[in-house]
Amino acid sequence: MKYYVGIDLGGTNIVAGVVDEEYNIIAKASTKTNCPRPEKEIADDMAKMAVEAVRNAKLTMNDIQWIGVGTPGIANSEKGIIEYSNNLGFNNTPMVKYIQETIDKPVFIENDANAAAYGEFVAGAAKGARNAVCITLGTGVGGGIIIDGKIYSGSNFAGAEIGHTVIEVDGAQCSCGRKGCFEAYSSATGLIRMTKEAIAEHPDCIMAKSEKERGKVTARTSFDCMRAGDKYAKAVVDKYIKYLAAGITNTINIFQPDVLCIGGGVCNEGDPLLLPMKELVAKEVYTRNSPKNTEIVIAKLGNDAGIIGAAFLGKAK
Ligand code: BMX
Ligand code: ZN
């Protein structure tokens, strides 16, 4: 049996997993990212987690083929440099070199959403597809594109940033500097913003009460309060779904993948999110009258997608 290590570097957690050649995660190790802090410290912790995960798997580094890393931002996979990652505070960080100072193995890096898409492609909801696009609805909206079984990251390692395509000109401010990005509406962060806006407009609604009781607004507030009968919450959910459907329809119109996979916590809402979204997409997509169309599915692997995809980066390009 061959083994690989995949590391998912996130704004909150660093998770390393040992993955066998049948795509099973056999052991993990994790720690807090604790950013902002010096990039070398983060890299050292990543190497530490890799070593710990291997130990937890009762293996040694000799059993490991290579290490793969998924990171938010722009990952130059040829030079092994994370060129830019705003939430981690990275600028031209030589991640591969740093990790190899501790571990003498080949190290591959890739954007986190690309790695997660690859994970879903090799072992999850996009398994068996030739062309697949995965969209993650999390803190941001991540995009990963698989064409003919390989990760497509474009030139300059900066492609597949589906989250930063504008769906509302002059719309809500995005963290990338543009206004009206898909990410500004369809991320969990975007949903929370729209929920807060509605609460400010309707201070007596059920969402406002929920905020007072819990002391916070989350990505679930609007869905929960809609179920409790709040018409303003339903309006937020409807708006969220409308934007999500627009972003997904755009993506299908560009790529016409066999499978479009969506992941991230918001997908746990299930049918109340998915059914109306799929209905809107079906009405609008360019191929609406074609006998064959892109299948929209929910990601299967959750947070493990990023680890499994990272672990197989040695085969991804
Ligand atoms: C942002 C962007 C993408 C990333 C996506 C998902 C940065 C630092 N991140 O659009 O590269 O894939 O977020 O990130 O520029 P997540 O934090 O939601 O997983
Ligand atoms: Zn943007």
- The string of pLDDT tens digits covering residues 208-229 is 999 999 999 999 999 999 999 9
Expressed in angstroms and rounded, the spacing between residue 160 Cα and the centre of ligand 2 is 12
DSSP code for 158:
-
What residue ranges do the domains of the chain occupy? 3-121+304-316, 128-298
Is the shortest distance between the CB of 13 and ligand 1 below 6 Å?
no
**pLDDT for position 211:** 98
Residue 291: predicted pLDDT: 92
Q: Atom 7 of ligand 1 has which residue's CA nearest to it?
A: 73
pLDDT at 95 (0 to 100): 98
pTM: 0.94
Residue ranges in the chain assigned as alpha helix (H):
39-56, 95-102, 112-123, 182-186, 188-201, 206-214, 221-227, 231-255, 271-284, 304-311
CA 199 to CA 196: how far, in whole Å? 5
In degrees, rounded to 5, the angle at the alpha carbon of residue 116 between the alpha carbons of residues 102 and 172 is 110
Which atom, in ligand 1's list, is nearest to the CA of 143? 12
Atom of ligand 1 nearest to the CA of 187: 18
> Any idea of the CA torsion for 131, 189, 41, 82, to the nearest 10 degrees?
40
Mark the ranges of the chain whose per-residue pLDDT is less than 70: none
Pocket flag, ligand 1, residue 113 (CB < 6 Å): yes
185: which 2 tokens? 């509406």
Q: How far is the CA of 62 from the centre of ligand 1 (A)?
A: 33
Taking CB atoms within 8 Å and a gap of at least 24, the contacts of 42-46 are: 42/9, 42/14, 42/88, 43/93, 43/95, 43/98, 43/99, 44/98, 44/102, 45/14, 46/7, 46/9, 46/14, 46/16, 46/95, 46/99
Q: Does CATH number 3.30.420.40 belong to domain 128-298?
A: yes
CATH architecture of 3-121+304-316: 2-Layer Sandwich (3.30)
pLDDT value for 2: 97
